C-alpha cells in the first residue's frame, strides 16, 4: 500500500466510523480499523459484528493494499495532525504515516483476520430524503427500550406500505410514531432495526452532506448508503407489538400550551424530581397547567403555564424524563396534550407536525 490523502478527508472518514469500533472485545482485530487502498480511493471500515460502517475518501493511490490498524492510535494521530496531506505506506504489518511535520509507524493486524464487510446488493429498496429521515429518527429512536429482554422493543419498527413509511418505537412506557411520504416501493415490508444502528445512522446523517439516503433490505440485514458512507446492520427477528391498539381513539381533555414555557416548567420540576424517580404531577384547570414535584427530604416546586383547556380538569403524574425527551426535540410555538383520565396515556402532538404522535403512560399518583 502506498497512498496520499487530505487530512480533512481522512479525519472525516474516521469520525464517521469511529463509534462502531469495539472497546471491549475478545477479538483484538475488532478494536482496529480496516484500511483498503485501491483505484484512486481509500475505504475505512469498522465493525462490532452486528453493525458495520464504511467510509470512502478520494486519494492518490500508487500501490494497492489493506491492513487493520488500532483505531485509537490512528484517530489520535490523524485528528491532531494539522498538515494538509498525510501519506500512508505499508511494509509487512506496519503502517507508516507521514505528513510535512509528523511521522508515525503503527503496527497492525492482517486484514485477513478482519470480519468480512457485507457488500450491498445493487438494487435499492427505496430512497429517502436525508432531511426527512433525520427528523424522523430524532423523534422516534429515543423511545426504544434500552434492555434486550424483549429484543423487538430494542429497535425501530419500519413499515413500508406503498408511498408511505411508518416508523415507531416503544419501551412499554412510551411510544413514538412518525409517518413519512416516500417514493413508492415495489413491495410491502415490515422490519425492525436495532436502536444502536439507528442512533449511528442519526449521528452520520447529522454530519454528512447528502440529499438522499438509499436503503437496501436483504433477507436478514439492512444497508443505508449516505454519500460516501455505508451502514449495514442485522435485522431483529420477531413481530413488533400491535401498538396502534393502545393509542386512544377519543380525547376527553385537550390542553394547548406554549411549547417553550411548558419545557421550562418541566425542567424546573425535574430538578426536584431527581430523587423521586423523576415523578412529576400535572394539575389541569380551566385556563392553566400546574406542573409540580415534591421530594419530602428536599422540598417542592410548582410552575404555572397558561393553557387553552377543553374538557374537565384532571390531576395526573408522569416520568419527567419521558416528557423532556420529546419537548426538547419538538418544533413550533405550541404543544397539544390530550387525556382521557388519570389512568390513560397522554398523547403529545404539535400543529406543525401532524404526522408525529408521542404517547406516554401515566404514573400512579400517591395518596
Split at pLDDT 50, 70, 90, the class of 97 is very high
pLDDT in tens, 99-140: 999 999 999 999 999 999 998 888 889 999 999 999 999 999
Residue-level pLDDT at 366: 66
Residue-level pLDDT at 263: 97
Q: Three cell numbers at 173?
A: 412506557
Q: Which of 65, 66, 59, 76 is nearest to 21 (CA)?
A: 76
Q: Three cell numbers at 4?
A: 496520499
pLDDT in tens, 190-241: 999 999 999 999 999 998 888 999 999 998 999 999 999 999 999 999 999 9
The residue behind cell 409517518 is 179
Residue 365 above 80 pLDDT? no
pLDDT in tens, 28-43: 999 999 999 998 999 9
Query: How many CB atoms within 10 Å of residue 163?
Result: 11
Residue-level pLDDT at 111: 97
Q: Three cell numbers at 68?
A: 487493520
Split at pLDDT 50, 70, 90, the class of 297 is confident
Q: Which residues pair with 224 in a beta bridge?
A: 215, 231
pLDDT in tens, 257-291: 999 999 999 999 999 998 889 999 999 988 999 99
Which tops the pLDDT comparison, 256 or 210?
Answer: 256
| Domain segments of the chain as ranges | 2-113, 126-244, 247-360
How many angstroms separate the CA atoms of 328 and 330, rounded?
Answer: 6
pLDDT in tens, 327-360: 999 999 999 999 999 999 999 999 999 999 999 9
Residue-level pLDDT at 162: 82
Residue 54 above 90 pLDDT? yes
Q: Three cell numbers at 239?
A: 413481530
Provide CATH code, domain 2-113: 3.10.150.10
How many angstroms separate the CA atoms of 316 and 24, rounded?
Answer: 43
How many angstroms separate the CA atoms of 229 and 213, rounded?
Answer: 10
Q: Strand runs (DSSP E) across 235-355, as ranges?
A: 253-258, 279-284, 288-295, 299-310, 314-319, 334-339, 346-349
Whether the domain at 2-113 and the domain at 126-244 fall into the same CATH topology? yes
pLDDT in tens, 127-182: 999 999 999 999 999 999 998 789 999 999 999 988 899 999 999 999 999 999 98
DSSP 80: T
Fold of 247-360: DNA Polymerase III; Chain A, domain 2 (3.10.150)
Q: Are 104 and 63 in contact (CB under 8 A)?
A: no
Provide CATH code, domain 126-244: 3.10.150.10
How many angstroms separate the CA atoms of 218 and 248, rounded?
Answer: 35
Rounded mean pLDDT of the chain?
94
Residue 87 above 90 pLDDT? yes
Which tops the pLDDT comparison, 24 or 103?
Answer: 103
How many angstroms separate the CA atoms of 98 and 73, rounded?
Answer: 14
Q: Which of 77, 37, 30, 31 is nearest to 56 (CA)?
A: 37
Amino acid at each position: 500500500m502506498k497512498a496520499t490523502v487530505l487530512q480533512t478527508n481522512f479525519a472525516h472518514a474516521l469520525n464517521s466510523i469511529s463509534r462502531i469500533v469495539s472497546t471491549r472485545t475478545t477479538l483484538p482485530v475488532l478494536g482496529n480499523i480496516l484500511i483498503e487502498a485501491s483505484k484512486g480511493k481509500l475505504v475505512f471500515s469498522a465493525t462490532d459484528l452486528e453493525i458495520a460502517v464504511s467510509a470512502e475518501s478520494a486519494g492518490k493511490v500508487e500501490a494497492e493494499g489493506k491492513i487493520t490498524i488500532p483505531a485509537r492510535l490512528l484517530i489520535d494521530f490523524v485528528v491532531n495532525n494539522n498538515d494538509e496531506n498525510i501519506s500512508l505506506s505499508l511494509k509487512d504489518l506496519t503502517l507508516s504515516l507521514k505528513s510535512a511535520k509528523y511521522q508515525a509507524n503503527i503496527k497492525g493486524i492482517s486484514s485477513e483476520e478482519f470480519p468480512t464487510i457485507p457488500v450491498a446488493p445493487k438494487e435499492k429498496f427505496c430512497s429517502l430524503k436525508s432531511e426527512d429521515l433525520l427528523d424522523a429518527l430524532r423523534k422516534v429512536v429515543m423511545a426504544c427500550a434500552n434492555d434486550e429482554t424483549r429484543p423487538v422493543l430494542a429497535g425501530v419498527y419500519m413499515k413500508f406500505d406503498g408511498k408511505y413509511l411508518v416508523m415507531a418505537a416503544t419501551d412499554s412506557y412510551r411510544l413514538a410514531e412518525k409517518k413519512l411520504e416516500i417514493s413508492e416501493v415495489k413491495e410491502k415490508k415490515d422490519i425492525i432495526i436495532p436502536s444502536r444502528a439507528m442512533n449511528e445512522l442519526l449521528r452520520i446523517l447529522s454530519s454528512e452532506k447528502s440529499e438522499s439516503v438509499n436503503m437496501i433490505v436483504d433477507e436478514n440485514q439492512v444497508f443505508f448508503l449516505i454519500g460516501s458512507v455505508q451502514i449495514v446492520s442485522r435485522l431483529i427477528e420477531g413481530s413488533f407489538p400491535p401498538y396502534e391498539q393502545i393509542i386512544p381513539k377519543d380525547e376527553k381533555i385537550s390542553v394547548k400550551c406554549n411549547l417553550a414555557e411548558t419545557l421550562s416548567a418541566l425542567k424546573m420540576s425535574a430538578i426536584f424530581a431527581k430523587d423521586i424517580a423523576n415523578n412529576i404531577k400535572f394539575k389541569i384547570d380551566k385556563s392553566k397547567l400546574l406542573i409540580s414535584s415534591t421530594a419530602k427530604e428536599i422540598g417542592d416546586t410548582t410552575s404555572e403555564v397558561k393553557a387553552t383547556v377543553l374538557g374537565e380538569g384532571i390531576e395526573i403524574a408522569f416520568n419527567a424524563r419521558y416528557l423532556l425527551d420529546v419537548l426538547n426535540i419538538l418544533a413550533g410555538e405550541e404543544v397539544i396534550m390530550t387525556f382521557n383520565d388519570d389512568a390513560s396515556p397522554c398523547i403529545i402532538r404539535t400543529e406543525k407536525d401532524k404526522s408525529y404522535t408521542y404517547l406516554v403512560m401515566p404514573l400512579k399518583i400517591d395518596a
